[in-house]
Structure 1
C-alpha cells in the first residue's frame, strides 16, 4: 500500500477494501484500473466534504486537493458535458479553455440535480473516476503531475487518495496546461 503524506489526521485504507466509501460508478471504475490497491480512501464527516472545510478539519494541505466540476454547453441544440479537474488553489477556466474544448458558445457549471443524476454521484463528492464514458475529462497539467492528491469519492462521506498521473490515464482524460486559473 502507498504511504500517503497528505492524509493529515485521517487513516487511509486501500480503496478496494472500503467500497462503502465510494459511489457505485466509482467502485466499478476503480476495479478496472491497472493497480486499484495503490489508491487510498478515507472516511470523513459528510458535513466536511467541501474542500476548504475538509482541509481545515483534517489537516490535509489545500494544494494537494483537486476539485472536479461538471460543465455543460450547448451547440446546435446538443448539450455537451465535460468534467474538469483542477487544483483546489485554482478555478477551472470555464469560459475560456473549457468553452473552446467543448466547441460551444457558452459553458457553465451543470445544474446540481442534473450533474448528480448523470454521474450517479453525490453533489460535493463528484469525481472524475467513474464518469460517463462519453464525457471528456479535462485534467489540468498541474493535477496530472501531482505525486498525490485528494479528490472526491462520489459520496460526501469519503475521499480518494490518488496519484495525479493515474488521473491522466483515465478513459477520456485530456491533460490541458492552464485549465486551472489562479484564484484572484
Structure 2
C-alpha cells in the first residue's frame, strides 16, 4: 500500500495496524462509524525520534507541513469548573487559545492543559495526541483549513507512527465543531 501523501516505508490501513495504536485509538478504529470506511484511515510507521513537528518535517520532508495538523488539549476555566477540549490546527499555525478557544468554550480563562492531564485523560502519548479516540464528551474544535484538506497527517496516539486521514473525517467526529481562524500564524 502507498500512503496518500508523503513517502513512508511501512504503510497500512489503520484496521490492520491496531497493535501499533494506543488502546483508545485502536478502540475508535475498531468501532469506526465515520464518513469514510475505516480502511481509508491510514497508519504510517515512523520513528519516535522524529515525532515533533520540526524534526518530523526535517526527516520526512518539509512538503508535509501544509498537509499536517497538530492536536492539542486545552483547559477552559470558568468559576470552579474546568472544561477539557481538543483543538486541531494546521501544523504551521498555533491555537488561538486566548481568543477563539476561550470564547468557544465560554471560559473566563483558557490555557494548554498540562502534559500529565492531556496524557492521563486521553490515554495517548504527549506529542502524538490525535482527535481519533478522544474522550467522547470533549468538545473538538477543528480549524476549517484542516477539514477542507483532502488528506491530513496527524498523530496516531503515540509518538511512533502517524495517521493520514481525509480532512472531512475530523468534522464528523463526536462533538466536533469546524471553526474559522482557530489556528493563527505562529510567532517568529
- TM-score between both structures, scaled by the size of structure 2: 0.93
CA RMSD of aligned residues (A): 1.3
Structure 2 residue 124 is matched with structure 1 residue 121? yes
- The corresponding residue for 1:82 is 85
Structure 2 residue 160 is matched with structure 1 residue 161? no
- The corresponding residue for 1:11 is 10
For this pair of structures, how many residues does the alignment match?
A: 183
1:1-184 superposed matches below 5 A: 4-34=3-33, 35-59=37-61, 61-184=64-187
Give how far 1:175 is off: 0.3
SS of 1:61's equivalent in the other structure is helix
Aligned structure 1 segments of 4 or more residues deviating by more than 3 angstroms: none
The 8 Å contact of residues 8 and 45 in structure 2, kept in 1 or not, is answered as no
Larger deviation, residues 31-40 vs 122-131: 31-40
Name stretches of at least 5 consecutive residues in structure 1 with no aligned partner: none
Larger deviation, residues 31-40 vs 167-176: 31-40
**Shift in alpha-carbon separation, 1:10–1:66, aligned structure 2, 3 A:** farther
Give how far 1:44 is off: 1.0
- TM-score between both structures, scaled by the size of structure 1: 0.94
